[in-house]
């Protein structure tokens, strides 16, 4: 009888013991960030937004008595460093999940290893279909791919303004080519042809030749497949040359750092927006309080990437609560698939995950810089499935 009782107890405990990164008092979550490389400006806020949500929950006693511990590894946006960092997180007592890993090359280099190890791979900063399709029990995405997210914003501006000569400046890598493919398909649907296409190598700082090429082709609308510094450089170059062509940047350029870095020259730039900017002016009471607490904690201003990662961390926390006191990755994944979240105090879009939908954000807005700050010019627009 004693042997039967022992076997029964071990069977009950097996799923709990199999989940790495979990102790009676702590649940460990990993995150691969760029804190020293070309997109460190994003990485710092990815870390801060995640930590903010965890600290809020820990202050209330944690989840089922466990404190949430965030373990951040710096990849420098280098896939080789990222692979080593992933192995470090998986070593020792391991991690229960990885959350908000940043950068498409980093994610594509490390996601298979985390999934192989049975670790939840949640809401990375990598707008690629591969992070949420095909559906996998342990992987969930936050951002739609660029091929899905950029066309609704571009379509709105093209149809509203009657643009006919569309050009593109894109980063010559997977990210930039995703934008190119998405707009190429949109132009086909609209019966339009490219005015001009031009690209740049990652890390470029001089865009004079590309802007001159787009201008010489007489484009009346330009899509930017760029990130923060490159967005500022390209848009500033166009305005310096006296070219006032309307431009739309991807969600990667929708950050307060763009008008901060570029100054008054950035006014007029459009962007695709996935989550709101945390603007203190006109903020509701809950948002104003959140901004104040963020400023006190991190000694800097929050931006859209803090909102993005706070929302992702909040989804994870909700699923942990719903999964019960003995969590496994499979239980948390099942809880995520049942989540339905209405608009929050940020004004984020509603989220409804399911067994056949592991992508959280399925709508975008168009925003524009006006007088040095981003303002929404549309409500949420659905993306194509």
Question: Among the residues of the chain, which ranges form H helices?
Answer: 2-18, 40-59, 79-90, 104-116, 146-161, 174-190, 208-216, 228-240, 257-262, 285-298, 304-323, 329-336
pTM of the model: 0.88
pLDDT tens-digit series, residues 313-343: 999 999 999 999 999 999 999 999 999 999 8
pLDDT tens-digit series, residues 165-200: 999 999 998 889 999 999 999 999 999 999 999 999
Pick the more confident residue, 80 or 257: 80
pLDDT at 39: 87
Calculate what percentage of the chain has a pLDDT beyond 90: 88
pLDDT of 376 > 80? The answer is: yes
Give the whole-angstrom CA distance, residue 344 versus residue 349.
8
pLDDT band at 19 (very low <50, low <70, confident <90, very high): low
For the ranges 169-178, 220-229, 231-240, 244-253, the lowest mean pLDDT is seen at 169-178
Q: For residues 246-251, give the mean pLDDT.
A: 97
pLDDT tens-digit series, residues 146-155: 999 999 999 9
Reduced 3-state DSSP string for 67-130: EEEEEEEECCCCHHHHHHHHHHHHCCCCCCEEECCECHHHHHHHHHHHHHCCCEEECCECCCHH
pLDDT tens-digit series, residues 271-311: 999 999 998 888 899 999 999 999 999 999 999 999 999 99
pLDDT at 214: 98
pLDDT band at 52 (very low <50, low <70, confident <90, very high): very high
On whether the CB atoms of residues 124 and 102 are closer than 8 A, the answer is yes
**Structural domains of the chain sorted by starting position, each given as residue range(s) with its CATH number in brackets:** 2-144+284-354 (3.40.50.2300), 146-273+366-382 (3.40.50.2300)
CA angle 20, 317, 337 (to 5 degrees): 90
Q: For residues 5-21, give the mean pLDDT.
A: 46
pLDDT at 6: 35
pLDDT at 41: 86
Cα-based distances in Å from 299 to 261, 281, 296, 302, 326? 19, 19, 6, 9, 36
């Amino acid at each position: 009888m004693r042997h039967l009782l022992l076997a029964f107890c071990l069977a009950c405990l097996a799923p709990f013991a199999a989940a790495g990164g979990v102790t009676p008092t702590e649940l460990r979550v990993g995150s691969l960030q760029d804190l020293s490389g070309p997109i460190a400006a994003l990485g710092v806020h990815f870390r801060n937004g995640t930590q903010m949500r965890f600290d809020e929950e820990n202050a209330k006693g944690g989840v089922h008595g466990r404190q949430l511990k965030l373990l951040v590894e710096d990849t420098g946006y280098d896939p080789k460093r990222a692979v080593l960092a992933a192995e470090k997180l998986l070593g020792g007592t391991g991690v229960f999940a990885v959350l908000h890993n940043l950068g498409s090359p980093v994610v594509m280099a490390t996601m298979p290893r985390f999934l192989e190890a049975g670790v939840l791979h949640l809401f990375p900063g990598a707008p690629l279909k591969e992070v949420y399709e095909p559906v996998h029990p342990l992987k969930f995405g936050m951002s739609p791919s660029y091929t899905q997210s950029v066309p609704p914003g571009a379509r709105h501006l093209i149809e509203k303004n009657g643009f006919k000569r569309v050009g593109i400046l894109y980063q010559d890598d997977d990210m930039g080519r995703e934008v190119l493919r998405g707009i190429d398909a949109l132009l086909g649907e609209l019966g339009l042809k490219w005015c001009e296409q031009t690209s740049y190598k990652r890390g470029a700082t001089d865009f004079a030749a590309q802007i001159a090429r787009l201008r010489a082709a007489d484009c009346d609308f330009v899509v930017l497949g760029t990130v923060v510094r490159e967005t500022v450089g390209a848009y500033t170059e166009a305005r310096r040359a006296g070219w006032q062509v309307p431009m739309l940047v991807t969600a990667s350029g929708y950050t307060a750092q763009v008008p901060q870095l570029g100054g008054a020259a950035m006014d007029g730039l459009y962007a695709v927006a996935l989550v709101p900017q945390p603007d203190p002016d006109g903020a509701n009471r809950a948002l104003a309080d959140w901004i104040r607490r963020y400023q006190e904690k991190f000694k800097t201003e929050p931006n859209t990437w803090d909102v993005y990662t706070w929302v992702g961390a909040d989804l994870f926390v909700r699923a942990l609560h719903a999964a019960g006191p003995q969590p496994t990755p499979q239980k948390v994944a099942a809880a995520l698939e049942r989540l339905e979240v209405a608009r929050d105090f940020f004004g984020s879009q509603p989220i409804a995950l399911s067994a056949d939908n592991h992508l959280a954000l399925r709508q975008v807005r168009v925003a524009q810089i006006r007088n040095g700050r981003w303002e929404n010019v549309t409500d949420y627009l659905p993306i194509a499935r």
